[in-house]
């Protein structure tokens, strides 16, 4: 029976007994003994294990509830003396410390031979500890946490945890019934790291760390570096090792060939647990890549995958920063899904949440009895919006924890991009705080200088270590330089969500057409600042929950008009400078708000549903938008170049008409025209220049196949004196390209 299979009897311990062969070991110092048994000793290896003493070698073991413990040397078993409280010891007349094992018996069971955890040297090297102290360990997950390994010729698991304020740390496991008494860990000096190599323990073992704080409290904590967890509501960490063999070498080799801001980038945002409720990572791998590929999106963006206890948080309150949620399978199962997406030609972006963490008492909050991952000042630690804690970005080890975490997902799980959530809440000391509820920085300003430095370091490190990866900021203010390189003072993100465009454009289309002329600027203003950053245009999950209504339900008018408005809006969006992002369910005009319990309303597309054709029409449009988008470089090649865009009709407010040209790097144009009025406009004249002889309509959101009225321009439209005359369908967007295309 292996050590982790050994059952423990009920409460109570054996009475002291005499050794059969070994002499009694020198008694422990009462103070050391008390600290050891209380779990408050920094160096249990100095008290336990084997040590030279006058007259031989002293052996001491801590085995609570054991009936007897013996030391086995060269096959000879020598009983140890019980000292009470689970301590057993003896001195053997040996010249040096030998190779040995322990034979431990519980209750009426026969003794089981096992290795002594306290005979091993530290399994973590000095260089790792140096990097941890410096806050520069870019592969921190290889040093901290639980790692199955062979150490000094013995297989087992190395457990390490950073808890610098603890008086003592012990390992509690499922096989010790969550009692950490038997396995105190040792402190590795000024690093604040505690370590224990546990022989005979391997993958699948559930564990936590029992922390003894300097205030005298003891509590169990999940491993901050756990790479696998129990499925919620259970909260233990799980020993794991990856055995996955990737098949995406070709994808990784070419993903960085073209800078992301010069490449097509059309994103389908997905909440994995609800996209097809009940499916595991591996089951999702059989259907999600095929659907996304069929719809023509270049990437998926996964709402947070890291472990979180509360499902309705959608993953934005993370407790297991290094563990994919166990709700859907193992870490290797998640790798299988990423691999399947890559083999289908789909990039994978993951929402990443370094802005805050929940207060659950078994997780990061006051981890070692003190503020550790959070600042000590409650004015900075408390996040007023979400009832969570913010991270202490000024602390080197905390910054290292987060920077390494960003690298971890990209390196270990082949993630192609990190969308960083709630960046604005990190950047401003006064974010959502009242006067007097925050303290200015050293220069008297409201900027969080430590958070700025962290974001710069994170971006620089990820781009250096993981070629082809993109970082994306969800930053809702006008902070300058979000996507400017760090060496010129920027934050270093590759892309930024354009929250201003999102709010303005949704506000515009929510108005009745008769009132839209008074809000015309809401559709044109984004071009005033369109090249200040590298932008993504996001119609995300945040816009279709909490009473905001689904995209089609935001629109005015009857059912036909609402769908027409959606189609026109999507046509405008896909042609507008900036990358594209659309949340699941909006691609087929789901009318209800998204629910994490129900997911998208796929039944709307079923043959038997009376309005299935209406929803399929919008779905067909999104598929065609993506297909045209990917084959037309004018729509993405010069997204960050002002010379790639020209207004054709910017002030036609009375008509609710917008028109502009997009150009690729060779000057080939695309003309996009949107009519947000419910009337047909015949013979509408635009000045487009005389570079193009004739234009061909390549997409019309009013086409019958999309559910529209089929008001189209079927024949090539000739340019006369630099002008064209078009028929504009109602509530529609048309795209025209030079003919022949």
Interacting residues of 667 by C-beta distance below 8 A, sequence separation 6+: 691
The SS3 of residue 659 is: strand
Distance (Å, whole) CA 386 – CA 310: 13
Q: Is 21 a catalytic residue?
A: no
With beta carbons less than 8 A apart as the criterion, state whether 686 and 723 touch. yes
The interaxial angle of helices 559-575 and 499-510, nearest 10 deg, is: 150
Distance (Å, whole) CA 637 – CA 198: 55
Distance (Å, whole) CA 79 – CA 319: 45
Which parts of 479-530 fold into alpha helices (H)? 499-510, 513-516, 521-524
Distance (Å, whole) CA 194 – CA 718: 76
Distance (Å, whole) CA 731 – CA 738: 24
Which parts of 604-734 fold into alpha helices (H)? 612-631
Distance (Å, whole) CA 327 – CA 49: 40
Place of tokens 């304020």: 165
CA distances from 75 to 78, 99, 209, 735 (A): 10, 11, 34, 85
Distance (Å, whole) CA 59 – CA 225: 33
Which parts of 209-298 fold into alpha helices (H)? 249-254, 272-275, 281-285, 288-295
Instruction: Give rounded-to-5 percent helix, strand, coil for the chain.
Output: 30, 25, 45
Q: Is 421 a catalytic residue?
A: yes
Q: For 505-600, where are the E strands, in sequence order?
A: 535-539, 579-583
Instruction: Map 123-163 to HEC letters.
Output: CCCHHHHHHHHHCCCCCHHHCCEEEEEEECCEEEEEEEEEC
Place of tokens 């709700």: 327
Which parts of 258-395 fold into alpha helices (H)? 272-275, 281-285, 288-295, 331-343, 378-381
Q: How far is CA 81 from the centre of its chain?
A: 52
Which of 449, 557, 466 shows the shortest CA–CA distance to 510?
557
Distance (Å, whole) CA 462 – CA 228: 23
Largest Cα–Cα separation, the chain: 112
Distance (Å, whole) CA 94 – CA 70: 16
With beta carbons less than 8 A apart as the criterion, state whether 509 and 649 touch. no
Strand 681-687 with 723-728, pairing: antiparallel
With beta carbons less than 8 A apart as the criterion, state whether 623 and 295 touch. yes
In 10 A of CB 328, how many CB atoms?
20
Q: Which tokens belong to 52?
A: 């030279």
Of the candidates 116, 195, 397, 474, the residue annotated as catalytic is 474
Q: Which residues pair with 470 in a beta bridge?
A: 417
Which of 214, 3, 179, 156 shows the shortest CA–CA distance to 86?
179
The SS3 of residue 527 is: helix
In 10 A of CB 432, how many CB atoms?
13
Q: What are phi and psi of 497, to 5 degrees?
A: -65, 130
With beta carbons less than 8 A apart as the criterion, state whether 175 and 5 touch. yes
Of the candidates 269, 392, 421, 624, the residue annotated as catalytic is 421
Q: Looking at the annotation, which residues are catalytic?
A: 421, 474
């Amino acid at each position: 029976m292996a050590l982790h299979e050994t059952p423990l009897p009920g409460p109570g311990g054996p009475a002291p007994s005499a050794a059969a062969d070994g002499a009694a070991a020198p008694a422990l110092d009462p103070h050391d003994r008390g600290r050891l048994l209380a779990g408050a000793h920094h160096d249990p290896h100095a008290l336990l294990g084997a040590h030279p003493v006058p007259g031989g070698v002293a052996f001491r073991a801590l085995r609570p509830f054991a009936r007897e413990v013996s030391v086995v040397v060269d096959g000879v078993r020598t009983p140890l003396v019980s000292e009470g409280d689970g301590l057993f010891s003896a001195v053997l007349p040996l010249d040096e410390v030998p190779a040995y094992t322990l034979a431990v018996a519980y209750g009426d069971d026969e003794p089981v031979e096992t290795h002594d955890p306290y005979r091993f040297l530290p399994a973590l090297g000095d260089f790792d500890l140096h990097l941890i102290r410096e806050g520069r360990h870019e592969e921190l997950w290889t040093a901290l946490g639980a790692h199955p390994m062979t150490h000094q010729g013995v297989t087992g698991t190395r457990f390490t945890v950073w808890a610098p304020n603890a008086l003592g740390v012990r390992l509690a496991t499922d096989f010790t019934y969550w009692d950490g008494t038997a396995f105190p860990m040792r402190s590795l000096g000024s690093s604040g790291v505690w370590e224990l190599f546990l022989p005979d323990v391997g993958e699948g073992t559930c564990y936590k760390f029992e922390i003894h704080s300097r205030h005298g409290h003891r509590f169990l904590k999940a491993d901050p570096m756990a790479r696998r967890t129990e499925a919620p509501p259970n909260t233990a960490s799980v020993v794991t090792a990856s055995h996955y063999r990737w098949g995406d070498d070709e994808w990784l080799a070419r993903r960085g060939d073209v800078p992301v801001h010069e490449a097509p980038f059309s994103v389908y945002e997905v909440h994995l647990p609800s996209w097809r409720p009940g499916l595991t990572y591996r089951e999702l791998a059989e259907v999600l890549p095929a659907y996304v590929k069929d719809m023509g999106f270049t990437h998926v963006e996964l709402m947070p995958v890291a472990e979180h206890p509360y499902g309705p948080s959608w993953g934005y309150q993370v407790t297991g920063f290094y563990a994919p949620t166990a709700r859907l399978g193992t870490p290797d199962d998640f790798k299988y899904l990423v691999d399947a997406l890559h083999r289908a030609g789909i990039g994978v972006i993951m929402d990443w949440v370094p802005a805050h963490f929940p207060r659950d008492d078994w997780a990061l909050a006051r981890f070692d009895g003190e503020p550790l991952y959070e600042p000590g000042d409650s004015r900075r630690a408390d996040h007023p919006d979400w009832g969570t804690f913010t991270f202490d970005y000024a602390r080197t080890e905390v910054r290292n924890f987060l920077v390494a975490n960003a690298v971890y997902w990209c390196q270990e799980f082949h993630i192609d991009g990190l969308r960083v959530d709630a960046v604005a809440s990190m950047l401003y000391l006064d974010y959502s705080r009242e006067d007097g509820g925050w303290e200015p920085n050293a220069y008297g300003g409201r900027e969080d200088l430590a958070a700025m430095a962290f974001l710069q370091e994170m971006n620089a490190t990820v781009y250096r270590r993981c070629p082809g990866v993109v970082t994306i900021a969800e930053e809702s203010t006008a902070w300058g330089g979000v996507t400017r390189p760090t060496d010129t003072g920027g934050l270093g993100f590759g892309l930024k969500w354009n929250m201003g465009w999102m709010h303005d454009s949704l506000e515009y289309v929510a108005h009745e057409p008769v009132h839209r002329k008074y809000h015309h600027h809401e559709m044109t203003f984004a071009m005033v600042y369109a090249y200040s950053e590298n932008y993504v245009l996001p119609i995300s999950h945040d816009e279709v929950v909490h009473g905001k209504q689904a995209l089609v339900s935001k629109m005015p008018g009857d059912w036909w008009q609402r769908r027409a408005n959606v189609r026109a809006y999507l046509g405008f969006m896909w042609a507008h400078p900036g990358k594209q992002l659309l949340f699941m369910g909006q691609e087929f005009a789901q009318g209800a708000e998204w629910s994490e319990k129900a997911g998208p309303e796929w039944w709307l597309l079923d043959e038997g549903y009376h309005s299935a054709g209406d929803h399929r029409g919008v779905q067909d449009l999104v598929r065609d938008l993506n297909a045209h988008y990917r084959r037309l470089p004018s729509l993405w090649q010069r997204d960050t170049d002002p010379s790639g865009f020209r207004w054709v009709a910017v002030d036609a407010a009375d008509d609710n008409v917008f028109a502009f040209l997009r150009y690729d790097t060779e000057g080939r144009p695309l003309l996009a025209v949107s009519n947000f009025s419910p009337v047909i406009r015949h013979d509408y004249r635009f000045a487009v220049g005389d570079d193009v002889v004739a234009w061909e309509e390549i997409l019309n959101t009013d086409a019958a196949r999309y559910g529209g009225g089929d008001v189209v321009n079927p024949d090539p439209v000739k340019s006369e004196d630099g002008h064209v005359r078009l028929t504009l369908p109602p509530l529609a967007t048309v795209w025209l390209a030079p003919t022949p295309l």
